[in-house]
């Protein structure tokens, strides 16, 4: 009994010491890589926000990515706003919060961009806007991105990051998959290059449409790419599934993506592909 008491006293003592320390240490000093578990001092992360150990790219907003990706960018369709087609409870409030948080009108940033002397249409999905879900405005912006690129005879690069369909917009979210696919096919028929870069996470209806329709499909290291969610798969299988089932590396091995590219290399890799790949 005495032994237990001593332990309790000791642990209580330790917790107290930690609490005092907490007040003097700013939040977020350390981060843990969600893939390999390596602890990283936040200020050691560079502008790319990647794990120095396994090269996993942490989730970043569209504008943050834009900052190091291109030499020039002109944004388009930044004024379109969702009409809330289902009058979904609390949806307007959620949209307002996400617009403020990301400074985007919906889950994708689109425009025309330049790397070196290469001009192209660019779309970057933002995982912080309702999980990058595919809403009507997302679909309209991506469709217009391809339509404009077809008209101006430009290649398109699209960075995907999405939880899939946007529940709050119901079937109209699903219709975006068909609408975007049509615009991509027309862009393709015109002989123009489309490159997708799959980032963590790319899932559901986005994987089942424009993410997988690129002429060239790249992915960031260890990014989660799949159709069904892990829990759904495990419920169907009645067992645990391999940890790496939906890792980009597994998709590479199975022949569904062309290359894994580290974030630091993306700009030069894309510049080369724009010049010689299309």
By CB under 8 A, the count of residues binding another protein is: 53
**265-276 in b/e burial notation, b at 16+ Cβ within 10 A?**
ebbebbbebbee
- Establish if 107 lies at the interface with another protein (CB under 8 A): no
d(CA 44, CA 127): 23
List 224's β-bridge partners, or say none. 247
Which of the residues 236 through 275 are near another protein (CB under 8 A)? Answer: 236-237, 241-242, 245-246, 250-251, 254-256
Residue closer to another protein, measured from CB, 69 or 184: 184
Residue closer to another protein, measured from CB, 51 or 137: 137
d(CA 207, CA 225): 7
Name the 3-class secondary structure at 182: helix
Binder of another protein out of 107, 113, 210, 224 (CB under 8 A): 210
Binder of another protein out of 161, 211, 270, 274 (CB under 8 A): 211
Q: List Cβ neighbours of 56 (8 Å cut-off, separation of 6 or more).
A: 33, 34, 35, 36, 50, 200, 220, 221, 222, 223
Question: Cβ 183 to another protein, closest distance in Å?
Answer: 8
Question: And the tokens for 83?
Answer: 């009409």
Name the 3-class secondary structure at 110: strand
**Residue 33 counted as an annotated binding residue:** yes
Question: Cβ 202 to another protein, closest distance in Å?
Answer: 9
d(CA 169, CA 87): 9
Piece of the chain touching another protein by CB under 8 A; list 27-35, 80-88, 97-105, 267-275: 80-88
Residue closer to another protein, measured from CB, 32 or 243: 243
Piece of the chain touching another protein by CB under 8 A; list 7-15, 23-31, 122-130, 227-235: 227-235
- Establish if 93 lies at the interface with another protein (CB under 8 A): no
**Residue 98 counted as an annotated binding residue:** no
Question: Cβ 273 to another protein, closest distance in Å?
Answer: 20
Binding track, positions 166-205, relative to another protein; x by CB under 8 A: -x--xxxxxxxxxx-xx-xxx-xx--------------xx
Binder of another protein out of 207, 218, 222, 248 (CB under 8 A): 207
Q: Are strands 30-32 and 39-41 parallel, antiparallel or unpaired?
A: antiparallel
- Establish if 136 lies at the interface with another protein (CB under 8 A): yes
Q: Which helix (H) or strand (E) holds 177?
A: helix 170-189
- The residue among 190, 181, 209 whose CA lies nearest residue 151 is 190
CB-facing half-sphere around the CA of 207: CA atoms within 13 A:
22
Task: Tell me 151's DSSP state.
Answer: H
**Interacting residues with another protein (CB under 8 A):** 85-86, 88-89, 136, 139, 143, 165, 167, 170-179, 181-182, 184-186, 188-189, 204-205, 207-213, 225-229, 232-233, 236-237, 241-242, 245-246, 250-251, 254-256
Binding-site sequence positions for Zn(2+)? 33, 36, 51, 54
């Amino acid at each position: 009994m005495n032994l237990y008491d001593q332990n309790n006293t000791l642990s209580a003592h330790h917790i107290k010491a930690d609490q005092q320390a907490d007040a003097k240490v700013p939040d977020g000093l350390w981060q843990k890589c969600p893939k390999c578990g390596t602890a990283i001092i936040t200020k050691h992360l560079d502008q790319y926000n990647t794990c120095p150990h396994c090269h996993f790219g942490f989730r970043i907003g569209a504008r943050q990515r834009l900052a190091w990706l291109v030499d020039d960018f002109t944004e388009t369709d930044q004024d379109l706003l969702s009409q809330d087609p289902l009058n979904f409870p609390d949806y307007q409030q959620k949209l307002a919060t996400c617009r403020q948080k990301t400074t985007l009108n919906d889950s994708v940033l689109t425009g025309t961009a330049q790397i070196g002397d290469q001009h192209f249409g660019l779309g970057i999905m933002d995982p912080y806007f309702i999980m990058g879900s595919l809403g009507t405005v997302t679909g309209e912006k991506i469709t217009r991105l391809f339509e404009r690129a077809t008209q101006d005879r430009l290649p398109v690069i699209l960075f995907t990051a999405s939880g899939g369909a946007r529940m709050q917009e119901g079937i109209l979210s699903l219709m975006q998959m068909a609408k975007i696919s049509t615009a991509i096919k027309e862009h393709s028929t015109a002989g123009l290059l489309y490159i997708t870069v799959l980032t963590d996470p790319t899932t559901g209806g986005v994987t089942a449409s424009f993410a997988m329709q690129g002429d060239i499909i790249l992915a960031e290291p260890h990014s989660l790419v799949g159709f069904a969610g892990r829990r759904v798969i495990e419920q169907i299988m009645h067992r645990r599934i391999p940890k790496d089932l939906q890792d980009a590396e597994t998709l590479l091995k199975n022949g569904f993506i062309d290359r894994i590219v580290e974030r630091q290399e993306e700009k030069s890799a894309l510049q080369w592909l724009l010049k010689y790949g299309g």
